[in-house]
């Protein structure tokens, strides 16, 4: 049984002190700006830090919003563009502070990118880079292979989530989303300095951080090309600092999904690192080739199951077609070899996707076909099927229209329906933001860009609890995340920059079930309590879509300002 700390007494949830909901970070001057009120009113005002009224407008009714249970009213101040710090005021009630400015998301972008440094395993966090969140080296011992008992050096990588485990499929997903963010928006990351040990090396910081994970992934590949599924202890550690976790580490059996994902991300990274470190690029390519060869020799699905006595993350999948689809696309994009192109096209037409074409745009660790689709669309090698590319472009665009229509039905402009408020609902919200950015790039439609911004606004406080779901951000954000270092470090503030899982109508842990009443509307099924791991955990693949979304916004604004 885990022992939970009691260092922070304040618990947020449906008792939010604010009743006017805004993006607590702020708004771009020319963007849509809408505050949400769960109560009727006629007029609203924008006030400055002195309380002076600078703008006034009429409140309009949206109607009833199902996911929040609120009757929603909207205060639209889109035509207020003056840079500064403000609040929305209605009848004596005020919102949290927010800023308006061209670079309003710059610090947030840096914080969510820097968060990966705090998750480094096998690495002490130096005070020069981590400040008061510094700690000693952790998990440096050899790990025992559960396949043959050999001892393996698997130091490195990122701690996956609130626990200290490291998982290949999860790590590949997060790393790939960061690599694609760089691939789409390299100029944005060229300017980003997040103050990590590798800063100033001539390699963008985000790639240096990805390399920390990639070096670990290379250690998780068996000599024959297969990838071990995970490296963890048998049970989750109590709420202690990482260097205090001395339980024995194990390397678990291989799986075909882990092998395909490792192959794919190594191929993707090889192409990107070719411009910075040819030797490392070659290592990645060889690992990808070994992984793909193993997949060819093992066409059957090799699943993963926890052995008896193990309670750490499972990350099990029911099949591996989408993983192999991604691997084939990345190998073709890297090499141009017709073999991989033919394999991809055969997988593209697989009956597995019949009635499930949505998997071809999925961006999560458990359904990852969207990364394979992106790889093929972006590929510049001769021989790719333009018919397939046209289909995939249409698929991404069609989904963006569907997501837009869902957002229009929500008083908070979220794309999430009631059934989508599950464990990690903020990941789904951010995947929607990613897809809107992609659809904007594919079509040039500004409407998609505006809805990408709306998903960010929801994450950052324009929701029924007025909660900004990024630690250390805004006036009202989680202080008790389910994250062991944050709970054990004796520091009042949480480690900053982490995206929190968010509302979960399924209440998938006993503490959430005990605290949140049955029948609570989905968007209100959240509490800031480190015991509630199904609501308040962090993980590496929740930050990565946030970084992609923020990079897309930075890119879009830079282009707009250049044109002006």
What is d(CA 177, CA 430) in angstroms, rounded to the nearest whole number?
12
- Is 123 annotated in the active site? no
Where do the H-state alpha helices sit in 152-277?
A: 168-184, 186-190, 205-219, 256-273
What is d(CA 139, CA 249) in angstroms, rounded to the nearest whole number?
8
- Is 528 annotated in the active site? yes
358: tokens are 């949505």
Strand-strand pairing, 151-152 and 143-145 = antiparallel
**Are the CB atoms for 482 and 538 separated by under 8 Å?**
yes
551: tokens are 């990079």
**Are the CB atoms for 331 and 372 separated by under 8 Å?**
no
Catalytic residue among 163, 205, 322, 489: 163
**Are the CB atoms for 523 and 463 separated by under 8 Å?**
yes
What is d(CA 329, CA 341) in angstroms, rounded to the nearest whole number?
7
- Is 482 annotated in the active site? yes
What is the signed CA dihedral for 50, 54, 55, 59, rounded to 10 degrees?
A: 10
Catalytic residue among 528, 530, 554, 557: 528
Catalytic residue among 236, 482, 555, 556: 482
Q: In what order do the strands lie in the sheet with 151-152?
A: 151-152, 143-145, 250-251, 230-232, 166-167
What is d(CA 354, CA 339) in angstroms, rounded to the nearest whole number?
24
Catalytic residue among 209, 509, 537, 554: 537
Alpha-carbon distances of 238 from 3, 135, 167, 253, rounded to whole Å = 6, 17, 19, 25
Which residues does the annotation mark as catalytic?
163, 482, 528, 537
């Amino acid at each position: 049984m885990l022992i939970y700390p009691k260092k922070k007494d304040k618990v947020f949830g449906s008792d939010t002190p604010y009743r006017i909901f805004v993006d607590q970070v702020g708004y771009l001057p020319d963007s849509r700006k809408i505050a949400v009120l769960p109560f009727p009113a006629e007029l609203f005002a924008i006030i400055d830090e002195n309380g002076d009224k600078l703008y006034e407008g009429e409140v309009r009714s949206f109607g009833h919003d199902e996911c929040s249970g609120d009757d929603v009213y909207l205060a639209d101040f889109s035509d207020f563009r003056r840079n500064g710090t403000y609040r929305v005021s209605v009848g004596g009630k005020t919102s949290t502070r927010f800023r308006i400015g061209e670079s309003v998301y710059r610090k947030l972008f840096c914080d969510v990118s820097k968060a990966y440094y705090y998750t480094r395993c096998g690495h002490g966090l130096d005070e020069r880079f981590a400040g008061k969140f510094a700690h000693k080296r952790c998990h440096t011992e050899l790990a025992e292979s559960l396949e043959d008992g050999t001892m393996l050096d698997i130091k490195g990588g990122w701690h996956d989530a609130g626990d200290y485990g490291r998982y290949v499929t999860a790590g590949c997903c997060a790393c790939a989303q960061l690599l694609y963010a760089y691939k789409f928006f390299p100029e944005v990351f060229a300017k980003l300095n997040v103050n990590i040990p590798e800063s100033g090396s001539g390699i963008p910081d985000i790639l240096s951080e990805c390399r920390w994970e990639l070096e670990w992934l290379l250690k998780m590949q068996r000599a024959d090309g297969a990838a071990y599924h995970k490296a963890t202890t048998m049970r989750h550690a109590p709420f202690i600092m990482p260097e205090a976790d001395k339980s024995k580490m194990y390397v678990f059996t291989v799986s075909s999904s882990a092998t395909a994902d490792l192959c794919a991300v190594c191929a993707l990274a090889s192409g990107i690192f070719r411009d910075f470190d040819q030797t490392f690029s070659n290592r990645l390519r060889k690992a990808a080739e070994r992984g793909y060869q193993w997949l060819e020799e093992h066409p059957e699905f090799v699943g993963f199951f926890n052995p008896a006595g193990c309670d750490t993350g499972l990350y099990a999948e029911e099949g591996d077609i989408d993983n192999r689809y991604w691997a084939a696309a990345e190998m073709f994009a890297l090499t141009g070899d017709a073999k991989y192109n033919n394999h991809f096209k055969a997988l593209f037409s697989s009956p597995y996707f019949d009635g499930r074409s949505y998997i071809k745009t999925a961006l999560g660790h458990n359904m990852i076909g969207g990364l394979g689709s992106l790889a093929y669309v972006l590929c510049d090698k001769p021989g790719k099927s333009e018919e397939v590319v046209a289909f995939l472009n249409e698929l991404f665009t069609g989904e963006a229209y569907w997501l837009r229509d869902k957002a229009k039905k929500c008083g908070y402009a979220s794309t999430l329906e009631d059934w989508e408020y599950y464990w990690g609902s903020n990941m789904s919200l951010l995947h929607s933001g990613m897809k809107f950015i992609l659809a904007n790039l594919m079509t040039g439609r500004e409407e998609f860009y505006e809805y990408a911004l709306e998903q960010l606004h929801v994450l950052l406080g324009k929701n029924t609890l007025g909660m900004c779901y990024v630690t250390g951000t805004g006036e009202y954000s989680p202080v008790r995340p389910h994250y062991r270092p944050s709970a054990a470090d004796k520091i009042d503030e949480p480690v900053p920059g982490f995206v929190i899982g968010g509302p979960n109508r399924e209440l998938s842990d006993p503490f959430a079930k005990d605290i949140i009443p049955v029948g609570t509307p989905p968007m209100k099924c959240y509490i800031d309590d480190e015991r509630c791991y199904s609501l308040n955990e962090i993980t590496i693949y929740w930050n990565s879509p946030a970084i992609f979304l923020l990079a897309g916004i930075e890119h879009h604004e830079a282009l707009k300002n250049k044109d002006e």
